[in-house]
Chain A
Amino acid sequence: DVVLTQTPVSLLISLGGQASISCRSSQSLVHSNGNTYLHWYLQKPGQSPQLLIYQVSNRFSGIPDRFSGSGSGTDFTLKISRVEPEDLGVYYCLQRTHNPPTFGGGTKLELK
Chain B
Amino acid sequence: QVQLKESGPGLVQPSETLSLTCTVSGFSLTSNSVHWVRQPPGKGLEWMGIIRSGGSTDYNSALKSRLSISRDTSKSQVFLKMNSLQTEDTAIYYCTLNWEWWGQGVMVTVSS
Contact = CB atoms under 8 A, between A and B. Distances in A.
A106 B44 contact: yes
Q: Is the interface of B mostly helix, strand, loop or mixed?
A: loop
A50 interface: yes
Interface string A76-111: 000000000000000010101001111111100000
A49 B45 contact: yes
Contacts of B103: 48
Chain B's interface size range is: 10 to 19
Contacts, number: 37
Interface in B63-112: 94, 99-105
12 contacts: A48-B94, A48-B103, A48-B104, A49-B94, A51-B99, A96-B99, A99-B58, A100-B47, A101-B35, A101-B99, A103-B45, A104-B44
